Structure 1
Amino acid sequence: MNIEVFSVKGFSGNLLKNMLEEALQKNELFYPVSLINSVDQFIEAGLASVPALKIGDKIIQNSTENAMEEMIREAVDFLKGNEDHDILVPVDFSPASIHGLHYAKMMAGYLGLGINIVHVHYPVYDPVTSVSLDEHLMKQSEEQVEDLAAELRKVDEKNDNPVRISTNLEIGGIDVSLIDILENKKHDMMVMGTKGTDTGIRRLFGTVTSTVSRHATKPVIVVPPQAEIKFPGKIVIGFSEELIIDKTLETLLKFGAKNSVFFDFVHINDNEKEFKKLKDKLYENLMSSRDLLVGFNIRSMPLGQKHIDEVLSEYAESVKAGMIVLVAKHRNFIDNLTHQSVTKKALLHATLPLMVIHPVLNTVE
């Protein structure tokens, strides 16, 4: 969508365009802005006066003393209110990532979101062939991404409410680029497939999937190859005190609110006193958000000699859950290399779709 700035030739038109572009960038709204000085186009657009802004079919005019500031504020508010929201779906064209893409499309349909298919191209540097080879690989990747989008759109041709699909080709380091892209305001979450292969190297350093899911600040759903493409009717949540921090629980409840999801909260610990304390606090928070709930259960399970991720996974499969949710703790790079977190282990052995969310803190400006 293009934003048009209508103004007579001169300083004021350029100033309005520049101020608008700065405001859009500040609010992470990425739209092209063009300046129009033609009187014929003023008349064709049906303008009563200039300067004016046109966003799609919406015309913004203001003749007050602070006209420019007011028009820019109105434009930003309008764009924020009408901004599309997407699920970010990274693909590397492997069968696992394509499976993740189909899962994301299903999820988008249930949540009323679009999907943004992105492939991150890692530059090839070779003193002899790098330029020609890299250009060829980039063009090939771009065509593959567009082909994927075209296939999905074709499936939706007879659908009354087709999922909105967009594509992106990015250049850079894969894990860092994906985290940066996910932070764009239009992305509500990320869904990505995982190969599900467990090797010594992966256990030590983690995969791109593991890195992104544990360091992104928005929900990331990791989809193993054997996962059924079906919206989860029951979700098992491994809960600890991180889940109760401020808006973290609210984020999870909103995810399931529109689709009658049953939440099964499981605390894995041999300390009953600790469980009682957490259970009371969780129940209190759930009751304050009861309008978002269809049904829930809170239980504890003994850890015994097993790892937490094993107990949680076995329980989820026994109750036929469609997804597992974990709340991840943020750690620095050195800690990450040595710390065998529950999240990391669960990602390496995932058999069900796994959502990783992070504590959402209230911030005071």
Structure 2
Amino acid sequence: MKHILIPTDFSSNANHAISYALNLFKCERTNFYFIHAYADEVYGPFHNVNNDTFEKEKQAIGKNCENELSKLVNEVKERTQNPLHHYEAITSFEWLVDAVNNFVNIKNIDLMIMGTKGKTASSSITFGSNTVQVFKYVKCPVLAIPDEYEYTQPKKILFPSNYMLPYKRRELKLLDTLSAQFKAQVHSLYISDFEDLSLRQLDNKKLLEECLPSAMLSFVMTAVENRAKAIMTYINENDMDLLVMVNSRHSFLEDMLYRSTIDEIGLTPTVPFLVMQNLPR
């Protein structure tokens, strides 16, 4: 039984991510949890009002969110009518990252699936601010779906790595499960000017092989010029269906998330982007 968490702000991009999630797990017994965190909807416009007005607006917004989420769940049920799927709606008067992390721990969530942008995000950016915050701080794997991407089975998966990270077996198990489900190829891309690996790198590479027994795993290498450019070139030249990266201390992804924006560095994937969290859980 899979436990999948899907945050929604009721935007078209969020609905697009829901459709992708339902297709991805259509043959799996799955609990889908739809969550809407609405603290910013209350604190934003009503931060300078008195307590009575604040509580009144908070209750009104919370009730409206519950109604919208209930309507969404009913629409999903009617559209899919999948006996393998169970749906639950959750509203939370918290910020998105806090609400998600609390629920991840309560329900032992396997994967979070979301859109890359929300209602207010500019069309010129790849990832909205909420998505970037989720990538940084949420303690479970996160799959972000570009709004223009039409669902296709992830049969070709790109996993860039420098083999310096001590992978978490639970995170790799998710990747192995997806690989088994779709008989997928996993291309482990090593971006370096040096072919020889250290003992640490060799151990982590071996762990990768051990934890992905169901994947058609291959190891490829490219020289360093610009890591983001190398990843995007590989995706485009090899028609990849999914990009997988690990967020950890001192990783390339962390460097992008904290030092600058993903868009400025040039990592703008047009395929779904799975971020696995090498963080305490």
**Taking structure 2 as the reference length, what is the TM-score of the superposition?**
0.80
**Which amino acid in 2 is paired with 1:151?**
E
Residues 1:147 and 2:63 aligned together: no
**Which amino acid in 2 is paired with 1:188?**
D
- In structure 2, the CA distance between the partners of 1:252 and 1:345, relative to structure 1 (3 Å rule), is farther
Deviations 1:190-211 (A, max 9, x none): 00101274779x99xx712111
Match of 1:17 in 2: none
Q: 1:99 aligns with which of 1, 9, 16?
A: 16
**Which amino acid in 2 is paired with 1:170?**
S
- RMSD (CA atoms): 3.3
Q: Distance in 1 between matches of 2:140 and 2:164?
A: 15
- In structure 2, the CA distance between the partners of 1:120 and 1:320, relative to structure 1 (3 Å rule), is same
Query: What SS does the corresponding residue of 1:273 show, helix, strand or coil?
Result: coil
Match of 2:236 in 1: 317
- In structure 2, the CA distance between the partners of 1:242 and 1:276, relative to structure 1 (3 Å rule), is closer
Query: What SS does the corresponding residue of 2:110 show, helix, strand or coil?
Result: strand
- State the shift of 1:85 in Å: 4.0
Residues 1:302 and 2:241 aligned together: no
Match of 2:194 in 1: 271
Deviations 1:45-96 (A, max 9, x none): xxxxxxxxxxxxxxxxxxxxxxxxxxxxxxxxxxxxxxx6421000011111
- In structure 2, the CA distance between the partners of 1:340 and 1:274, relative to structure 1 (3 Å rule), is farther
Q: Distance in 1 between matches of 2:269 and 2:5?
A: 20
**Which amino acid in 2 is paired with 1:99?**
H
Q: Distance in 2 between matches of 1:101 and 1:340?
A: 29
Residues 1:229 and 2:151 aligned together: yes
Per chain length, whose mean CA-contact separation is higher, i.e. which structure has more relative contact order (CA < 8 Å, sep 6+)?
A: 2
- In structure 2, the CA distance between the partners of 1:168 and 1:246, relative to structure 1 (3 Å rule), is closer
Match of 1:259 in 2: 182
- In structure 2, the CA distance between the partners of 1:360 and 1:109, relative to structure 1 (3 Å rule), is farther
Match of 1:113 in 2: 30
Q: Distance in 1 between matches of 2:122 and 2:199?
A: 37
Match of 1:19 in 2: none
Residues 1:179 and 2:101 aligned together: yes
Which of 1 and 2 has greater Rg? Answer: 1
5 Å-filtered alignment, 1:1-365, equals 85-122=2-39, 123-124=42-43, 125=46, 126-127=49-50, 129-157=53-81, 159=82, 161-195=83-117, 197=122, 207-242=129-164, 244-247=166-169, 248-274=171-197, 278=201, 280-281=202-203, 284-285=206-207, 287-289=209-211, 291-293=213-215, 295-304=216-225, 306=226, 308-330=227-249, 339-340=259-260, 349-359=268-278
Q: Distance in 2 between matches of 1:344 and 1:167?
A: 36
**Which amino acid in 1 is paired with 2:278?**
P
Structure 2 unaligned residues grouped into runs of 5+:
none
Q: Distance in 2 between matches of 1:340 and 1:131?
A: 38
- In structure 2, the CA distance between the partners of 1:282 and 1:93, relative to structure 1 (3 Å rule), is same
- In structure 2, the CA distance between the partners of 1:312 and 1:284, relative to structure 1 (3 Å rule), is same
Count of aligned residue pairs for this structure pair = 266
- In structure 2, the CA distance between the partners of 1:162 and 1:113, relative to structure 1 (3 Å rule), is closer
**Which amino acid in 1 is paired with 2:259?**
H
Deviations 1:204-253 (A, max 9, x none): xx712111122222211011111222331111001122555352544422
- In structure 2, the CA distance between the partners of 1:345 and 1:246, relative to structure 1 (3 Å rule), is same
